[in-house]
Chains A and B, each alone.
Chain A
Amino acid sequence: MRKYLAIARITFANLLQYRWDFLISQTRIILLLITLYFLWTQVFKTRATLFNFNQAQIISYIFLASVVRQFVLTSATDQIAQELQSWGKFFSYLLRPVGYFRFWFTVDLVYKITSLIFIILITSIMLNILNITLTWPTEIFPILLFIVSIFIASLIYFYIGILVSTTGFWTSQVWGLQFLVVLILEFCAGSFFPIDVLPANLQLIIKLTPFPYLLYYPISIFLGKLSLVESIKVITIAILWLAVIFIFTKFIWNKGLKVYEAWGG
Chain B
Amino acid sequence: MSIVEVKNLTKVYSVAQKQPGIVGTLKSFFHRQYKHIKAVDDISFKINEGELVGFIGPNGAGKTTTLKMLSGLLFPTSGQVNVGGFVPWERKSEFQKQIAFVAGQKNQLWWDLPAYETFLLNKEIYEVPDHDFKERLNYLAKMLDIADLLNTPVKKLSLGQRMKAELVAALVHAPSILFLDEPTIGLDIIAQKHMHDFIKSYNSNFAATIILTSHYMDDVEKLCERVIIINKGKIVYDGKLARIVNRYANHKVISLDFEKEVPKKKLEKYGRVISLDLLDAKIKVERGKVANITSRLLKDLPIADLSIEEPPIEEIIRLIFVKNQ
Contact = CB atoms under 8 A, between A and B. Distances in A.
A13 B93 contact: no
Interface in B45-66: 64-65
Interface string A73-112: 0000000000000011101101111100000000000000
A87 to B, nearest CB: 7
Nearest to B96: A97
Interface stretch (A2-10, A116-124, A149-157): A2-10
Interface stretch (A54-62, A183-191, A257-265): A257-265
Given A96-B96, A262-B13, A91 B103 contact: yes
Contact of A98 (B13, B64, B125): B125
B93 A97 contact: yes
A92 B108 contact: yes
Interface in A213-265: 261-262, 264-265
B124 interface: yes
Nearest to A98: B125
Contacts of B117: 10, 13
Nearest to B99: A95
Name B's interface SS. mixed
Contacts of A87: 106
A10 B125 contact: no
A264 B71 contact: no
Interface string B200-234: 00000000000000000000000000000000000
Interface in B99-134: 99-101, 103, 105-108, 110, 112-113, 117-118, 120-127
Identify the interface centre among B64, B73, B123: most chain A CB within 10 Å of its CB.
B73
A14 interface: yes
A6 B124 contact: yes
Interface in B139-160: none
A96 B39 contact: no
A201 interface: no
A264 B113 contact: no
A261 B89 CA distance: 12
B123 A97 contact: no
B319 interface: no
B118 A10 contact: yes
Name A's interface SS. helix
Contact of A95 (B71, B110, B127): B71
B128 to A, nearest CB: 11
Contacts, number: 78
Given A17-B112, A95-B96, A262 B106 contact: no
B13 A91 contact: no
B75 interface: yes
Contacts of A17: 112-113
Contacts of B122: 96
A91 B73 contact: yes
Contacts of A13: 113, 117
Given A10-B113, A97-B126, A88 B120 contact: no
Given A94-B72, A94-B73, A88 B106 contact: yes
Interface string B62-105: 00110000011111000000000000000101001101110101
B250 interface: no
A10 B96 contact: no
B278 interface: no
Given A95-B73, A97-B96, 14 more contacts: A6-B121, A13-B117, A17-B113, A88-B105, A92-B106, A94-B72, A94-B73, A95-B71, A96-B125, A261-B75, A262-B13, A262-B14, A264-B37, A264-B39
Interface of B: 13-15, 37, 39, 64-65, 71-75, 91, 93, 96-97, 99-101, 103, 105-108, 110, 112-113, 117-118, 120-127
22 contacts: A2-B124, A3-B125, A3-B127, A7-B121, A9-B120, A10-B113, A10-B118, A13-B113, A13-B117, A17-B112, A88-B105, A91-B73, A92-B106, A94-B72, A94-B73, A95-B72, A95-B96, A95-B101, A96-B96, A96-B122, A98-B125, A262-B15
What 5 A-B pairs come out closest when comparing CB atoms? A88-B106, A92-B108, A6-B124, A97-B93, A17-B112
